Structure 1
Amino acid sequence: MPFADEMASPLAVVEHRDEWAREFEELAGRLWVALGGAALAIDHVGSTSVPGLAAKDCIDVQVRVERLDERVSALMAEIGFRERPEPWNRIEVSGGVECRKVVFAPPVGARRCNVHVREDGGANARYALLFRDYLRADEVAREAWGAFKQRLAVSVPDLFDYGQIKASVMPVLMGSAERWAAATGWVGGRHD
């Protein structure tokens, strides 16, 4: 669940905004400096990373590290990022594989974002990149996913319920993404 300061604005899925790419770059720059050599790659992931896709106005960032340890948490805390406490922000299942991660909320008053720290080469890191690259490549899937999220946000304004319902539909989308990856020879996990 969001921290109290993140609850000020209601759930809304908005049309894509070109400034999201610039805002990601600014955030990634801050993270590169703060994390030093701990970060192997910093990726713009999630819906805001897909031009033309409707999204919540919250930048999703993936930081890939060699291994998850307390060092990254300490470095993130030094610049005001807060570890999200929920269990699903520690473990996720991607492609049937249980993977560790740590998710951080921004400092109080900063631009809304989620920073997902995952191990480089992990199934969950690949999943985030596949989601992004598939929706960038497939206009029909992109438009359908955006329309679904917009309708869902209107019907289910509670952020937790919205997330649970969206998560239950993700396997359908990602099944198509896996077929696309196989057909195109897409290989995830390259540093961009």
Structure 2
Amino acid sequence: MPFPDELASGLRVSAYDPGWPREFGIIAARLGKALGLLARGIDHIGSTSVPDLPAKDCVDVQVRVGELDDAPLVAAFDAIGFRLRPEPWNHTETSDGRSWSKRVFAPPAGERAANVHVRLAGSATARRNLLFRDFLRADARARTAWGQFKQRLARTATDLYDYGQIKQPATEVLMIAAEDWAQRTGWTDPSR
């Protein structure tokens, strides 16, 4: 859920912005400097990482770490003003029938909208987010259908929580196609 300062923008899925990769680069450089050796990798994920895909104007970043030790992570993020999102779904997620710990941070109030997902390096959930990105980058038909679905959904589910709850099962269907694509093409996790 957004922090109160993030609610003003509302829920809107807009056309792809070619500036999103540059904005990711700015965030990634800042995170890399703050996290140092805690970060094993920093990836642009989510819809803003896929050219020509409509998205909410919120850059999704994945930070892969060796362990999810809250004390050093929270301290490093606090030092640059990033806030730990408190909701349970921002601390645990399920992939391949297994629960995985994660943490999600938001930038300081008034800064560029972003979600920084911290996941274990080598985890199924870190892989899944890279596969989502790479599949939609490679498959124009899936990318177009996913973008149209998100735009229609945003017109009817105007609450961010409802939007996410409805989108989640559809994402599972998309990931079945992505896994099939990975098998057919020999895709491998680029973080390995």
Output one character per residue of 1:33-62: Cα deviation in whole Å (capped at 9) or x when no partner: 000111010000000000000000000000
Secondary structure in 2 aligned to 1:8? helix
TM-score normalised to the size of structure 1? Answer: 0.98
Match of 1:161 in 2: 162
Partner of 1:135: 136
SS of 1:147 mapped into structure 2: helix
Distance in 2 between the 1:8 and 1:57 partners? 13
> Per-residue deviation at 1:94?
1.1
Structure 2 CA distance for aligned equivalents of residues 146 and 184 of structure 1? 23
Indicate the percent of aligned positions where both proteins have the same amino acid.
58
Once residues 84 and 190 of structure 1 are traced to their aligned partners in structure 2, the CA distance between those partners, rounded to angstroms, is 25
Looking at structure 2, the residues matched to 165 and 74 of structure 1 have their Cα atoms a distance apart, in angstroms, of: 34
Question: What is aligned with 2:73?
Answer: 72
**For the residues of structure 1 that align with 2:84 and 2:100, how far apart are their CA atoms?**
17
TM-score using structure 2 length: 0.98
Write out per-residue CA displacement over residues 93-118 of structure 1, whole angstroms, 9 at most, x where no aligned residue: 01212111000011011100000000
Q: Are residues 1:97 and 2:98 paired? A: yes
Matched, 1:29 2:22: no
**Matched residue, 1:175:** 176
Gaps of 5+ in 2: none
Moved over 3 A (4+): none
State how many pairs are aligned.
Answer: 191
Asked whether 1:123 is paired with 2:124, we answer: yes
Q: Distance in 2 between matches of 1:14 and 1:163?
A: 16
1:156, distance to aligned residue in structure 2 (A):
0.9
The secondary structure found in structure 1 opposite 2:13 is coil
Q: Does the Cα contact within 8 Å between 1:152 and 1:162 map onto a contact in 2?
A: yes
Instruction: Give the letter for the 1:74 counterpart.
Output: A
Distance 1:50 1:96 in 2: 27
Counterpart position of 1:39: 39
- AA partner of residue 172 (structure 1): V
Q: Distance in 2 between matches of 1:188 and 1:71?
A: 27
Moved more, 53-62 or 66-75: 66-75
In the alignment, the residues of structure 2 paired with residue 138 and residue 96 of structure 1 have an alpha-carbon distance, to the nearest angstrom, of 26
Q: 1:43 aligns to what SS in structure 2?
A: strand
- Whether 1:59 aligns to 2:52 is no
What is the CA-CA distance between 1:189 and the residue it aligns to? 4.5
Q: Which runs of 5+ in 1 are unaligned?
A: none
